[in-house]
A and B are shown apart, each in its own frame.
Chain A
Amino acid sequence: MSYLSLKGITKQFDDFTAVKNFNLDIKQGEFISLLGPSGCGKTTTLQMIGGFTEPTEGSIVLEGKDITFTKPNKRDFGIVFQTYALFPHMDVFENVSFGLATRKIPKELIKEKVNNILALVKLEQFKHRYPAELSGGQRQRVAIARSLVYEPSLLLLDEPLSNLDAKLRENMQIELREIQQKTGTTTLLVTHDQQEAMALSDRVVVMNSGNIEQVGKPQFIYNNPGSFFTLDFLGKSNKLSGDILLDEGKYILKIEDFSSEIKAKETSSNVTFYVRPEKIKINIDNEIGLKAKVKSKLFLGIYVVYVFSRAKDDDILVYTQEKFRDIEVGENAYLNWQPSDIICFLGD
């Protein structure tokens, strides 16, 4: 039986529908993300799960109990908001112990639990500081500690890292995942940052205009997007066009002079397919591949970005780490890829 179940959740406003028939089963201890552009309905869904908005239709069931209309202060969830929403007039200790005080936990036990959680987020020495005296990253950790200290049934994170600068965000992502795994708390993250969603989650729910576009493990949906929306939202891709032909009993995808195997049901001409830039290999040893010329090159440290131009059709973007494939602008090369890296939406 699933831990948290969302059945047919719909949120209708006067002039538009924010969430349409949202169905999802979440397992206990799972880290799941709602990912999508602004306006896709992810925050509204989180608000319904948290109890701040009521769904127009549908139900929310937690461990068999229907909590669709339960008040937010009775749900025993933890929530970290984008603005952290720390209480400015209380110090770190008072902020973190707030959720324990409302549960009438005895003072001694509160002290112990707060100290433990502050140790977990590495903020013990800031116990008596006020939010105004803390940095963005520290405030974020206080917000997390405040929500986790009473061991909630569910942790909800509403774009918690978007106010941090890039470097800090990366560090916090790692810390957040570690904390979640240590406590084993079932976690739902809402974000528009695909890199963040994929890095942290056991499963990702891609949302688009109120609908669920695709659900799956990060690696799976990255390599096997079910639609162009998901493909494009999760990362860059090159749009190419070729023909599916039958060759000695096997289906192949042919683009100019380069052919690779493909799983297909019938031949077809002028088929659109996609290959991600990091999956393209630059071949200067022989002529197997798509002929192209280096148009520009950007060194980004971790990898090199190449833009290749072809005789006809669009440029091709390639990311590569291979040092010995270091070729310069104006040089020619052949681009190829593995059959498994071809993404094609044929309905098969």
Chain B
Amino acid sequence: MKKNNIGSCIFHVLFLLFMLMPLLAVVLMSFTSKGYMAFSSLDEMSLRWYYEVFNSEAYMDALLTSITLGAISSTIACILAVPACIALAKYDFYGKDLINSFLLSPLMIPHIVLGIAFLKFFSNVGISKSFLGLVIAHIILISPYAMRLILAVVYSLDKNIDNAALSLGSNKFMITVKITLPLLLPGIISGWLISFIQSFDELTMSIFLTPSSLITLPVKMYNDIDENLTPMITAISGVVIFGAIALMFIIDKFFGLEKVLIGKK
């Protein structure tokens, strides 16, 4: 297989730069010492805006809200997904393919449509602009991500393992507890992580549902870009980017980023 020529290498480097540029811009801007959005020269850099953002009650509340929302939604999504995936992978039953598609269907619905649909539904039911509504909406949004991952893991298990356990005298319940669930654990964890990230980053749908008292981080940032653009946004972005990098290395170390995002062999 021929190696890449110089032209390809140049293109590749430029492409990588293209992917990194906006994130670098944000991070660089976050070290500005000035009171407005502008780049600082190296000797004028400061951590001023990081201090400000960590002292900002509004931003810290938003961060906490997003983390809590993500954790709760991901956990419930996984609790719903695990039994469903076990059923889809290990049993043959009427309507199996239909249910499979149905449970993955939120992936095909635009976030904006989900946003307004939930807005209407929650206002009908009386929980509009509530944290509960936000959690429900996020669970629907992120479940397919958890399901896709966990389903792949269940499918990859040796089909004979259950039969072997049966032949050794175990009943189906004990097999689920002692064998299936422990084997699924890595998949469940990576499913949880992917769901958490999707929830934490989500903007379009959340804009319609977020209570003003408990605003999520992306929504707050969007509002501030519109109304109140200061380098504080870049500082919180810096925190988010750092968190994403850390998470990325963790996912790659334990599961392989390619496998989780692409589903490699």
Contacts and interface: CB of A to CB of B under 8 A. Distances in A.
Question: Do A and B come together as binding partners?
Answer: yes
Interface residues of A, number: 27
B180 to A, nearest CB: 10
B161 A102 contact: no
Contact of B168 (A52, A71, A89, A99): A99
A89 B163 contact: no
A52 to B, nearest CB: 6
Interface in B154-171: 158, 160-161, 163-171
B158 A73 contact: no
Interface string A79-115: 1011101111100000000110011000000000000
A81 B171 CA distance: 19
B161 A73 contact: no
A102 B163 CA distance: 14
Contacts of A102: 168-170, 174
Contact of A79 (B167, B174, B182): B167
Contact of B163 (A85, A88, A99, A147): A85
Contacts of B183: 87-89
B14 interface: no
Interface in A36-75: 50-52, 71-75
Interface residues of B, number: 16
Contacts of A52: 163, 166
B166 A87 contact: no
A77 interface: yes
B165 to A, nearest CB: 7
Interface string B170-209: 1100100001001100000000000000000000000000
B182 A50 contact: no
Nearest to A47: B163
Contact of B169 (A83, A87, A88, A99): A99
B161 A87 contact: yes
Interface in A257-309: none
Given A73-B168, A147-B168, 11 more contacts: A52-B163, A52-B166, A76-B169, A77-B167, A78-B167, A81-B160, A82-B160, A85-B158, A85-B160, A89-B182, A102-B168
Interface of A: 50-52, 71-79, 81-83, 85-89, 98-99, 102-103, 146-147, 150
Interface of B: 158, 160-161, 163-171, 174, 179, 182-183
